[in-house]
Structure 1
Amino acid sequence: MDLVKVIPQRLYMLRFPIGQAYLWRDGEDLTLVDSGHAGAAPEIEEAIRSLGLDPARLERIVLTHCHGDHIGAAEDLAGRWGSRVVAHRLEAPVIRGERPVPDPVLLDWELPYYEHAMTVPQAPPTRVDQEVEDGEVLPFGDGAVVVHAPGHTPGSIGIHLPHHGVLFAGDCIAGVGQVMLGVFNVDREQAQASFRRLAALAPAVACFGHGDPLTADAAAVLHAASTAEPALP
C-alpha cells in the first residue's frame, strides 16, 4: 500500500493494488472514505501512525458503495477502534451481507478488466451504523454533503466538502489514464447522469476510487469529461 499526500495536513490517499481509500483529517479526528480490501486494516493503521496520528481517533468510515475493494477492511477497523460505518440506505443491506452485490452490465471491453477486479478478496459482512440519504451532512470537513450518485451501484454516493472544494467520487468517475465514467456499472445511463451531477459541483480537488486525484483544473476537466460523448479507452 502507498500513502500519498493530496492536501498537506488534511487529505491523504491510501493506494492498494486495486483501488484506494482516502484519509481526511480534522485536527486529530480522522475520517476514512472507503476502506480498501479485506485484510488491509493493519496497513491502514500503520499508515495512520506514520503520520503521527492515532487510529483510535478514526471517528467514521464512509463507504461510497458496496464493492469489496471499498468495504473490505471496514468491519475490522470499526471493530478495533469503534468507528461508525456510514453508507447509503440502498447500499446498506448489501454491505451487511443481507443481499447480493448487484451484477454490472458489462461492455465487451470491460470483461478482461472485470476478471482482474474479481481477484480482490471477498469482503466480510460489514455493519452499517448510519444509513444516509442524498443531501445529508456528515460532521467532518466542515460539513460533508452526501450526494446520491446511482448507476455504478444503486446506492453509490459521492461526498462533497464544499468548504474545502473537495469531492470524493467513489467509482462513479475514474481517473485511470484519463478522467472518464467509471466502469462496471449496473445502469450506464444513470451513471452518466450521476457523473454530470458530481461534475457540476465544480470541485478544486476530485478523488476517485481508481486513478490519481485530480488537483489541477479539476472543475474544468470534470465538466469536459462529463459532457463529452462517452468514448472507449
Structure 2
Amino acid sequence: MEIIEVRPQLHLLLLEFGQAYLWNDAGVLTLVDSGIATSGGEIAEAVERLGFRRSDVRKVVLTHFHEDHAGGAAEVSSWGDVVVMAHRLEAAVIRGEVPAPPPNFTDEERALHRSLGAHLLPPAPPCRVDRELEDGDVIDFGGGAQVIATPGHTDGSIAIHLPAAQVLFTGDTVAHVDGQVIPGVFNLDRDEMLRSFGKLAALGPRLACVGHGAPIENAHQALGAAADLAV
C-alpha cells in the first residue's frame, strides 16, 4: 500500500487492488471510495501513518456500488461515528438488499475484464448507507462538496466536485491509463456514461481524482480534449 500526497489536504491511497482518496479538514477525515473487501486494514494503516486515528474518519462517500469501490466501506463504517453516503440508486445494492446489475460489456471490454481477473474480486460485504444522495446535494467537506449525478457507468454513479479547491472526484466515469485520459469501461450504458463524461469536462476542474489511475493535473484541459475525442 502506497500513500501519495496530491494536495496538503488530499492523499491518494494505492491499495492492494484499487484506490481511495482521503481528504483532511483540520483532522476530520473524509474517505472517497474504499477499495475491495480486504482494504479496511490498509486504509487503517494509511490513516495512522498520516498521524490520525481511525475514529477521525467521519464520512465515507461511495461513487458507486462496484466491489473495488464499496468493498471496504463496511469495515470502515464500524470505526466510530462514520456517515456512509451513496446515491439513492446505489443504496439498495450497497446494503445487499438487491443484486448488482452486471455491466453491458463491449467485446473488447469482455476480453479486458477476463485478463484483469476482475471477476475474481471478493464481493463487497453489505454496508449500511446513512445518507442517500441526490444530484445537487452538498456534503460538508472540502469547503462544500457538490454531488454531481453521472449515470452510465452505473445508474447511480456520482462525482464529487469541490469548487473552492478546484478538485473533482470522478469515480469510474473517467480513467487515466498509460498517460491517456479516457472514458471509463465496464458500463451499464456507455452512451449515457459519455454524456456524463462531457458534463464533468464542462466543470473545468484543476485536478481530477479518477477511480483508476493517477490524478490528472490541469484537468480542465485534459478532460475537455478527451471529451472531444469521445464524441
Q: CA deviation at 1:193?
A: 0.2
Task: Answer yes or no: is the 8 Å Cα contact 1:18–1:117 preserved in 2.
Answer: no
Note closer, same or farther for the CA distance 1:169–1:229 as it changes in structure 2 (3 Å cut). closer
Q: How high is the TM-score relative to the length of structure 1?
A: 0.95
Task: Answer yes or no: is the 8 Å Cα contact 2:15–2:42 preserved in 1.
Answer: no
Q: How high is the TM-score relative to the length of structure 2?
A: 0.96
Query: Does residue 226 of structure 2 align to residue 225 of structure 1?
Result: yes
In structure 1, the partner of 2:193 is: 191
Query: Does residue 144 of structure 2 align to residue 148 of structure 1?
Result: no
Note closer, same or farther for the CA distance 1:122–1:19 as it changes in structure 2 (3 Å cut). same
Query: Does residue 113 of structure 2 align to residue 99 of structure 1?
Result: no
Structure-2 separation of matches of 1:229 and 1:209 = 18
Structure-1 separation of matches of 2:17 and 2:228 = 27
Structure-2 separation of matches of 1:193 and 1:141 = 26
Structure-2 separation of matches of 1:189 and 1:57 = 39
Runs of 4+ in 1 over 6 A off after TM superposition: none
Uncovered stretches (5+) of structure 2, i.e. residues with no partner: none
What is the correspondence of 1:175-190 to structure 2 with a 5 Å cutoff? 175-177=176-178, 178-190=180-192
Helix, strand or coil for the counterpart of 2:152? coil
Q: Alignment RMSD, CA only?
A: 1.0
In structure 1, the partner of 2:206 is: 204
Query: Does residue 15 of structure 2 align to residue 3 of structure 1?
Result: no
Structure-2 separation of matches of 1:40 and 1:197 = 31
Q: What one-letter code is carried by the residue in structure 2 that aligns with 1:175?
A: H
Task: Looking at secondary structure, tell me which structure has more strand per residue.
Answer: 2
Residues matched between the structures, number = 228
Q: CA deviation at 1:112?
A: 2.7
Structure-1 separation of matches of 2:17 and 2:59 = 22
Q: CA deviation at 1:182?
A: 0.2
Structure-2 separation of matches of 1:192 and 1:101 = 21
Uncovered stretches (5+) of structure 1, i.e. residues with no partner: none
Q: CA deviation at 1:171?
A: 0.3
In structure 2, the partner of 1:126 is: 127
Q: What one-letter code is carried by the residue in structure 2 that aligns with 1:172?
A: T
Q: CA deviation at 1:19?
A: 1.9
In structure 2, the partner of 1:42 is: 41
What is the correspondence of 1:13-32 to structure 2 with a 5 Å cutoff? 13-32=12-31
The range that moved more, 112-121 or 134-143, is 112-121
Q: CA deviation at 1:103?
A: 1.2
In structure 2, the partner of 1:173 is: 174
Q: What one-letter code is carried by the residue in structure 2 that aligns with 1:77?
A: V
Structure-1 separation of matches of 2:130 and 2:67 = 18
